[in-house]
Structure 1
């Protein structure tokens, strides 16, 4: 009797699954297909070909995929190779509390190259992938100028507090914040442009807005204090680094694929303006398939005086730089290496760099699909992010554990006593 078993059937998106198929003929060739419909009604799908063992079984923890979207032993490969039917669409969960992604897993006889309505699976099941664990609470934040969503873990607390920011996409992005809250952090997903009554763009960054958000989070009874952490990617990482330099309550900072310069928008703090370095528009390139690459427009030019390097050596807390060496948006590795060198020159050892070969720009929680390129509201062409499936997936899995260890170490074990 054919049986498809997935354990657990319902889990957080950063949890691996055990997928086993039994009851096949010995050496039978089958196609595994994963698919989901996102909140906009768009289809994402993946497939891989497997051959059953002599016992008529396929265990994805042991079996090697023969082809399809990946080759080799990759138990979660069907998840991190999910691709959009509508090209350059990014899978990004909006309602993180009330609904999961429902991922349908189907098995077809032989190797199916193109799926049609006539194809009938031998067996199928559906799994739930959640972005918030049981008991996580979401609170909409509209206090003073601050706009965002606060996520509280279950339990009495207090818990270490983190501000979570994304990059040039704008708006309010919550999926990483809700997942961190599920892992025991009080997290403020912070919008800073392109949302409600906030500025339409990030051409001028007012650090006092982020100071207000920091103070709001710190005063919450579910936040441990006396300092908080910041996790941010791309433009958000640039702002996070600037926050660390100027705001005293930032204790731990995770920068994912961001610059160590003020890039494309001045920063303002207490009536002081910190000038920007503008990308060299002549060096923007349209790559294959009409994708816009920012890489050469913002690449590092050592010793170029006009660049406004952030004085990272002023930060009294700890920094974790996470970079993808196949990032096609920024030369993130060079940015991070220069920041690490700045710290070293000033006799500081409060920085750590994790550099991942083959990883792209959008390093997200484990088992998230690689987004090689996607549309951005600020540009007329899809932006190229980079990344290679297997390497990128490994980077996401490893960095997620390191991020949590980093925050727990510097926001709990090493925290200074409250005054």
Structure 2
């Protein structure tokens, strides 16, 4: 009887699952399929074809898929390349504490039938969690601050991180819960379109973010003297400004952001940095009807916009830029290179760059699927994020390890402060 074994049966989404199939006929071709249904009822599936070896076995760590949704040796391919049945849907976990994603793994004999018309010859389900046992979620409504603080299991004190996302607004928690599962106290911080915060992002008030920093450093389970930031898109732009103006920021991870203030003026006390206006007329529709906003951002090299460039050389902490070279939201690699060049101009060495060919805009932890396009609440058409599936998945796996190493190095008081 054919047997499918997937271990561990329950794990965090950023951990690998080993999949083996045994007791097949030698050299038998099978279809292996993964399926999950998200919290909105949308079905996501991936399938790949594998040949059994002479012992009648398939090992996804060893064997190459010969087709399907991916090809080659990808032990986590069935998880990384899940695709939505509903067009332009994006897999994004909302309830990170109470329910896992349940992934059904099925093996089908290779017949002239679609998998949906055939009964599997072996099956197993696995649970994929966003928070490890003992992680606590604490809703935050302190002064103006709105968000959720995730605390690791144990007494602490723990290094602290603020987690920021971009132009979708609201509160996104899945990365913060994973950071807490890896030993960081992580504050998922909302800054518009959430509870009583403004519905739209007008002026960016950096004092709001300073309030969040001070709140974290006063928490009894958090160790100082500084904190870190992990941020994406518009959040990365704000994070870069925080690293410059707030001396408590010791480590900043900017994922596919910019080196200047775009769209909304940024103010901090008596300092106001003017914004580079969006060029809405430069947005265009792709041949697939997707909205491409890549050219809607002003040229940061233009003389008239130099007052909007962030003075990264004034940052006191370390900065790690992470960019996808196929990002179709921003020319994020060019922005990061401009920031690095400015650092060299001022003879500063406290920044580094990880650049990933083939990766798109949404570089997230490995449990997040590759998403080439999806709906956004602020646009009338699906938004183009960019990237190529296999390169993007590899970038997510590698960058997640590097982010954790970077934060551990610079937020742990006993370690060196060198990049």
TM-score in terms of structure 1 length: 0.97
Alpha carbons of 1:347 and 1:111: their partners in 2 closer, same or farther (altered >3 Å)? farther
Alignment of 1:187-336 (within 5 A): 187-298=186-297, 300=299, 302-307=301-306, 308-336=308-336
2:198 match: secondary structure: coil
- Mean Cα deviation higher: 231-240 or 280-289: 280-289
2:70 match: secondary structure: coil
State the distance in 2 between where 1:107 and 1:261 align: 50
Alpha carbons of 1:202 and 1:187: their partners in 2 closer, same or farther (altered >3 Å)? same
Tell me the matched-pair count: 416
Corresponding position of 1:180:
179
Q: What is the CA distance between 1:414 and its match in structure 2?
A: 6.0
Deviations along 1:144-200, whole A, 9 cap, x unmatched? 110000000011210100000100111000000000000000000000001000011
Contact in 2 for aligned 1:358/1:391 (Cα 8 Å):
yes
State the distance in 2 between where 1:392 and 1:340 align: 23
State the distance in 1 between where 2:225 and 2:82 align: 41
- Mean Cα deviation higher: 95-104 or 367-376: 367-376
State the distance in 1 between where 2:66 and 2:298 align: 39
Q: What is the CA distance between 1:204 and its match in structure 2?
A: 1.4
Alpha carbons of 1:216 and 1:52: their partners in 2 closer, same or farther (altered >3 Å)? same
2:360 match: secondary structure: coil
Q: Does 1:18 align with 2:18?
A: yes
State the distance in 1 between where 2:335 and 2:113 align: 42
State the distance in 1 between where 2:312 and 2:415 align: 21
State the distance in 2 between where 1:34 and 1:413 align: 43
Corresponding position of 1:149:
148
Q: What is the CA distance between 1:387 and its match in structure 2?
A: 1.1
State the distance in 2 between where 1:280 and 1:90 align: 26
Q: What is the CA distance between 1:215 and its match in structure 2?
A: 0.6
Contact in 2 for aligned 1:151/1:187 (Cα 8 Å):
yes
Q: Does 1:39 align with 2:39?
A: yes
Corresponding position of 1:77:
77
TM-score in terms of structure 2 length: 0.97
Deviations along 1:273-327, whole A, 9 cap, x unmatched? 2111012222211113211111122264534422511111110110000000010
Q: Does 1:101 align with 2:101?
A: yes
Corresponding position of 2:379:
379
2:404 match: secondary structure: helix
State the distance in 1 between where 2:315 and 2:223 align: 21
Contact in 1 for aligned 2:29/2:49 (Cα 8 Å):
yes
Q: What is the CA distance between 1:409 and its match in structure 2?
A: 0.6
Deviations along 1:66-105, whole A, 9 cap, x unmatched? 1000010100001110011111111000110111100000
Alpha carbons of 1:162 and 1:19: their partners in 2 closer, same or farther (altered >3 Å)? same
Alpha carbons of 1:122 and 1:247: their partners in 2 closer, same or farther (altered >3 Å)? same
Q: What is the CA distance between 1:368 and its match in structure 2?
A: 2.2
Corresponding position of 2:366:
366
1:340 match: secondary structure: helix
Q: Does 1:166 align with 2:177?
A: no
State the distance in 2 between where 1:209 and 1:416 align: 30
Alpha carbons of 1:197 and 1:367: their partners in 2 closer, same or farther (altered >3 Å)? closer
Gaps of 5+ in 1: none
Q: Does 1:128 align with 2:143?
A: no
Alpha carbons of 1:112 and 1:293: their partners in 2 closer, same or farther (altered >3 Å)? farther
1:127 match: secondary structure: strand
State the distance in 2 between where 1:103 and 1:314 align: 47
Alpha carbons of 1:55 and 1:10: their partners in 2 closer, same or farther (altered >3 Å)? same
Q: What is the CA distance between 1:222 and its match in structure 2?
A: 1.1
- Mean Cα deviation higher: 271-280 or 145-154: 271-280
Gaps of 5+ in 2: none
State the distance in 1 between where 2:367 and 2:167 align: 23
Q: What is the CA distance between 1:33 and its match in structure 2?
A: 0.6
State the distance in 2 between where 1:144 and 1:365 align: 30
Deviations along 1:218-238, whole A, 9 cap, x unmatched? 111111111000010000000
State the distance in 2 between where 1:63 and 1:300 align: 47
State the distance in 2 between where 1:401 and 1:29 align: 35
State the distance in 2 between where 1:188 and 1:371 align: 25
